[in-house]
Chains A and B, each alone.
Chain A
Amino acid sequence: MVESKTVESKTVETRVDPHGPAQKNEREFMLDVRTQDLEVNMGPQHPATHGVMRILVRADGEICTGAQPHLGYLHRCAEKIGENVEWLQYLPYTDRYDYLAAMNNNLGYSMAVEKLMGIEIPRRALMIRTLCAELNRIGSHLIAFGTYGLDIGAFTPFLYMFREREWMMALFEKICGARLTYSYIRIGGVFNDAPPGWLSEVERFCDTFEEKWQEYVDLLMVNHIFVQRTANIGVISKAMALDFGLTGPMLRASGVDWDLRRDMPYELYAEIWKSGCFAIPLGTGERGTLGDCWDRSYVRVMEMIESIKIVRWCLGAIEPGPVIADIPKTLRVPTGEAYVGIENPRGELGHYVVSDGGKIAIRCRVRGPSFTNLAVLEELMPGVLIADTIAIIGSTDIVVGETDR
């Protein structure tokens, strides 16, 4: 034993010890183990990367010493396409970046164009848009939470969450004919009115969902193994979250009280917030440290139930009326530029559109929340255990369609 210690002492000096000097016995044991840096490609087709993304992980034994995300495998030139098709024709492309929350993408793009055009949206359309965006948020968080469990070894909750999401998608199929890429929210309103009986089915969905939601919390959120795998892992401090421009649940999990729906309200959110029906869940550090993986899951889980409250408010306040403003088939958007940011399930989805008064945009920039939220990985990964890298990637809840666009 003594011999191997002297041979390996050189390489051991540089390693990062996640436990610090406190656990001295363990460190002494590790000195005996022959180690060398190993570069491992995680992806492009790894189930835990949530899409086609590659992370180059440098590992020293069980410890990750660095990670470098490589993007672009799903780059489909969305912004270039935006400069080559007409304003209305671009709408279906917005579905394709964050395909888990396509309603929100439609909404963001429509709002940016509406801002330039100064269109007034009928109230019923606003109601349906808000309702659909919130339903879609629930669906998106179900996937985020379900696949997160799957990533770290809990297979069953994932299937339960797909059951509820299936119902949500059936609801969307009834209203617009598509299950994933809706293109339902249009510039000026929504494509068509809800079919008869649809709103009462949404209400039934809400009733069932509230019941099932408690199951998820019991099954996964407070599950001892889940807490052990996520608490104190991947801690993002407040300052770091702001520096990296994190938004959405990632930011709120670090204790920053910020939600565009309340702080820069769009659509009907000012009215809904005033009615006091929903709250903004924040990370608490209840099970570990503020801003750890558990907190990020917690914020998403709590947001689902808040979204149900917003859906219920819309169901209670909806009135008959037109669902789309009178807009021409070929849009000519006035010269100018506008930036609109909305609260997508993953954070701030920004659309920056520039028009020269013609039929086609001259710039159609998309600021995807997954893209910025992913940048924090390079900072979080060094020093964690290999098993925890999966927990950290899962907790950022990225959709590669959006990081790559």
Chain B
Amino acid sequence: MKRTFSYLLLLSITFTTHFAVAQEREMKVAAIDWTQIETLLALGVHPIGAAQIADYNAWVKSPAIPSRTVDLGLRTQPNLERLAELKPERIFISPMFQSLTPQLSRIAPVTNIALYKKGDVSWQAFKTYTQTLAKDTHREAAANSLIQSAQATLATLSKQVPAHTPPLLMMQFMDARHVRVFGTNSLYGIAAQQIGLQSAWHRQTNKWGFSLVGIDKLLGVKGQIVVIEPLPAGVEANLRQDAFWQYLVKQTGHPMLKIPPVWSFGAIPSTVRFARLLTTAIHQESK
């Protein structure tokens, strides 16, 4: 107790940044869901174990997982023996991995936090989600500053967006003929909305915020096409010689925008990243 106290004292003297608000030593947490990992990292919590680190770094990209975090293996079946050896104090999961609860709770208390629910994904939901995670890791102050800085960034970006920007048709290619189009309930949709832009996709989406459609269904949708990378192998070459795709882009009346990979099912960090990349892309195009 005494040691903790002196440590705290030292901390509060040394750090004047928001790290100073860490009221106690860092909790040993493990996380399975990438959305939770990205949020935890943004809150300054470094999980001792995370699932599928290499894939996280390829698909979520930022914030990067520090190298001392141990890889737990697959998200659907995190390695129980390794997890038991790490002795975490808390394990975070999302409802998607609910069936793991009986096994994981033998190692440490399991906290199940949901984000993607039907008709319930919004900027407000992102904020609540961040605050819930922060509360469970004692990072309330970090959460407030994360939300505030995110809102400030988004507000700045919204001022940079040209006023005449059309509604956006945001999509990810699955193969040469199928796309996920993101609309309501999606991260991309929220990011666009936060910087004052509209989504051009008004059809119903699933609880992850996308519709899976053939590109023939995009005909007649009025809006600027925004393609989020990565494009599957061979698709780029295929689109270049696809007369229908050329026509599709032409009929929107705007050039196609391409955005580097952003995790489509993330929370605040991915939203801010997407908003930034989107603004840059719009700027470059209008030049």
Instruction: Please say whether chains A and B are actual partners in one complex.
Output: no
By a beta-carbon cutoff of 8 Å, the part of chain A in contact with chain B is: none
By a beta-carbon cutoff of 8 Å, the part of chain B in contact with chain A is: none
